[in-house]
Amino acid sequence: MAIKIGDLCSDFEAMNQHGESIRLSDYKNSKNVVLFFYPKDETAGCTKEVCSFRDSYEDFVSLGSEVIGISSDSHGSHQNFASKHNLNFHILSDPKGLIRKSFGVPSRFFGLIPGRVTYIIDKEGRVKDIFENLFEAELHIRNAMDVLRKME
């Protein structure tokens, strides 16, 4: 069952590009979380998306938020991707797609392409907004900023 606006998120744990274990609950009661699922490291749209999040990271921090990206790529792929593009936020490896599945992130084109979905999660762990758009990756950043500003 897909997570909806207003739902409380279940906790999850995954490894980031630095080999650290990150839990959603690490941010409970302290930061909002911009959690985005993207299809694959080093593809044109995904690179554009993560670099846009990177370039806007300080703006997210100033709004009391942490940014976390998730794809099914391996830890090694994430290490290379993060290093090459100087990513300043966590990207988590979900190789079996369990986190993606728990959020109900859809796949597109007959299940061949994992969806691109961004969740805005408040400090209590409740979903405040969900934005899905596979082809216009940069809209995810603008939408997240708009929602976070309204939450202030």
| Phi, psi of 34, deg, nearest 5 | -100, 105
Q: Which two tokens stand for residue 82?
A: 């993060």
Q: Which residue has the tokens 């744990």?
A: 13
Active site residue 9: no
CA-to-CA separations, 16 to 10, 51, 109, in angstroms, rounded: 18, 17, 28
Catalytic annotation, pick one of 22, 34, 46, 121: 46
Q: Are 95 and 104 in contact (CB under 8 A)?
A: no
Q: Which residues are catalytic?
A: 46
